[in-house]
Amino acid sequence: MSIREVATKAYDDQKPGTSGLRKKVPVFQQAGYAENFIQSIFDSLDGFAGTALVIGGDGRFYNREVIQTAIRMAAANGFGTIIVGRGGIFSTPAASHIIRHYGAFGGIILSASHNPGGPNEDFGIKYNISNGGPAPEKVTDAIYARSRTIGRYLTLDTPDVDLDREGDTRVGDATVRIIDPVADYAALMEKLFDFSAIRKLIDGGFRIAFDAMSAVTGPYATEILEGRLGAARGTVRNGIPLPDFGGHHPDPNLVHAKDLYDEMMGPDAPDFGAASDGDGDRNLIIGKGIFITPSDSLAMLAANAHLAPGYARGLAGIARSMPTSGAADRVAEQLGLPLFETPTGWKFFGNLLDAGKATICGEESAGTGSDHVREKDGLWAVLLWLNILAVRQESVRAIAEDHWARFGRNYYARHDYEGVDSSAADALIAELRGRLPALPGTSIGALRIQASDDFAYLDPVDGSQSARQGIRILFEGGSRIVFRLSGTGTTGATIRVYIERYEAVGGDLARETGDAIADLIVAAEELSGIERHTGRTAPDVVT
Ligand code: VG1
Ligand code: CO
């Protein structure tokens, strides 16, 4: 089979963001666009001849086309085995596990995660390294640099592979292996959690509602929750992955999973509600009548993880992204564990997990995970919650209230201003950055600013540095406002404002969040002038 070298012209906009390259589908459909990025990945890697590459995606529009392209290019570039999920499907955490489980060199994950899908919506390509985690910045920087100068890509003239039939086929000199996307992942979950205890809980009448949001988690949740744990049929809603996610935004938050939220707040609510995002790495946790913020969920999972067999030996440490609330810090403090604060994006947890410094990690954006893979994992969080509920035999609300009574409560919300003019957003951040040195010691109303900075991270494992990761305004007493721009959007800019107030044990732990942080919301506007810069008077999404 002769390898075809195709001349191509470089694009200058292929800089990976927080989690890979994300663009509108028509951008990816330009001549050579996906090919250039995939070839830039291969050109940035060394020593992969004859090794295995994992390829899969979240099933969104354009997934199958790019998988066929990636298979031909991987074979032409010299990979020996190409492992693909049946139907082109792998959830992001499952892809991470498959890379690790089969000792692959790396993986290409096709997803734009929580972003909408369809012919005019979003698509994405991400490269994961051999530990199963997202490529670190030095790799993504190299890919971007290569994409700006690339002049050719390698491919083969071979027919499409039948993605729906499990088994091996030859493409050029490579073996393409189509595997069940769920089985290995489900087996891993059975090792970590006490499935028989969870099954007993469910047999006893415990009711679950899981919204897969017509995205990739459907087959995983159906097999595990309904198949292996005996939950009633229909427990998993929207369980068939659709190319356009049924026209919805597959982001498991109170805005986009509103039906589930309303049901959980209703009179005949199930005991436990959960949802996952487009590619299966995020989770939403709602108890009967109570929403658990992702930051709280991280803290509660960390405090109770020892109740699940996979974590019975305790945790080595906890890691959270900087904008995530300090709730996990309180747990680390009381349990005598190290706490790591990283920039936004799962790629920063990889080194800590590999070095055995952290066992559980989390982000305020509904991402939680552990050292079982190198991605956040939506279903894992759901199963850990279920395992804890099965052991403690208490409601989600009781567990949450007990947690706050023990550790205090971090009232927390994130306000997103989406589709903002990029130059206005840049100006807002630049202005805030300029004011940073003068802020400490000044007050806004009754709030006194103790410190302010632009978060910079020094990786304790490899010494790499990442600057400008978000503006932090820290108030006396532990309250905090963080401003940063999203690195996953595809239209204009998204300004994220993260607002947090800590209430210590003995304080009022039962307030409404909006009420508890009202003065900080006013302060955020005063500090940043969102309205002045963008014309916006209210956020588009509050989570
Ligand atoms: C967002 C979240 C971040 C998460 C990232 C990828 O990034 O804030 O915590 O890691 O999405 O999640 P940003 O740069 O838009 O704030 V996923 O589930 O979209 O891969
Ligand atoms: Co995701």
Report the atom number in ligand 1 closest to the C-alpha of 321. Answer: 9
Inter-residue contact 415 to 499 (CB < 8 Å)? yes
Residue 258, burial from CB neighbour count under 10 angstroms (0-12, 13-18, 19+): exposed
Active centre residues (catalytic): 113
Task: Tell me the pLDDT of the chain averaged across its residues.
Answer: 97
Closest C-alpha to ligand 1, atom 20: 113
- 132 in ligand 1 pocket by Cβ < 6 Å? no
Report the atom number in ligand 1 closest to the C-alpha of 488. Answer: 15
The CA distance from 285 to 403, in Å, is: 16
Q: pLDDT band at 119, cuts 50/70/90?
A: very high
- 486 in ligand 1 pocket by Cβ < 6 Å? yes
pLDDT of residue 491: 83
User: How far is ligand 2, taken at its centre, from the CA of residue 113, in Å?
Assistant: 4
pLDDT tens-digit readout, 518-529: 999 999 999 999
User: How far is ligand 1, taken at its centre, from the CA of residue 113, in Å?
Assistant: 8
Q: What are phi and psi of 22, to 5 degrees?
A: -125, 130
- 3-state SS, one letter per residue, for 264-327: HHCCCCCCEEEEECCCCCEEEEEECCEEECHHHHHHHHHHHHHHCHHHCCCCCCEEEECCCCCH
User: How far is ligand 2, taken at its centre, from the CA of residue 280, in Å?
Assistant: 6
Closest C-alpha to ligand 1, atom 1: 488
Inter-residue contact 91 to 145 (CB < 8 Å)? no
User: How far is ligand 2, taken at its centre, from the CA of residue 282, in Å?
Assistant: 5
Distances in whole angstroms, Cα of residue 350 to Cα of each of 53, 129, 132, 318, 319: 19, 10, 9, 13, 11
Q: What is the mean pLDDT of residues 75-97?
A: 98
pLDDT of residue 538: 94
As a whole number of Å, the CA-based R_g of the chain is 23
- 488 in ligand 1 pocket by Cβ < 6 Å? yes
Residue 10, burial from CB neighbour count under 10 angstroms (0-12, 13-18, 19+): middle
pLDDT tens-digit readout, 375-400: 999 999 999 999 999 999 999 999 99
Pick from 121, 279, 365, 379 the residue to mutate for probing ligand 1's pocket: most ligand atoms within 8 Å of its CB.
365
Question: Strand 81-89 relative to strand 174-179: parallel, antiparallel, unpaired?
Answer: parallel
Ligand in closest contact with the CA of 368: 1
Q: Which domains does the chain have, with CATH numbers?
A: 4-181 (3.40.120.10), 185-407 (3.40.120.10), 409-542 (3.30.310.50)
Percent of the chain with pLDDT over 70: 100
pLDDT tens-digit readout, 336-375: 999 999 999 999 999 999 999 999 999 999 999 999 999 9
Closest C-alpha to ligand 1, atom 13: 486
Report the atom number in ligand 1 closest to the C-alpha of 281. Answer: 18
Closest C-alpha to ligand 1, atom 2: 365
> pTM score, two decimals?
0.96
Pick from 279, 412, 485, 488 the residue to mutate for probing ligand 1's pocket: most ligand atoms within 8 Å of its CB.
488
Closest C-alpha to ligand 1, atom 5: 345
Q: pLDDT band at 270, cuts 50/70/90?
A: very high
- 281 in ligand 1 pocket by Cβ < 6 Å? yes
pLDDT of residue 488: 86
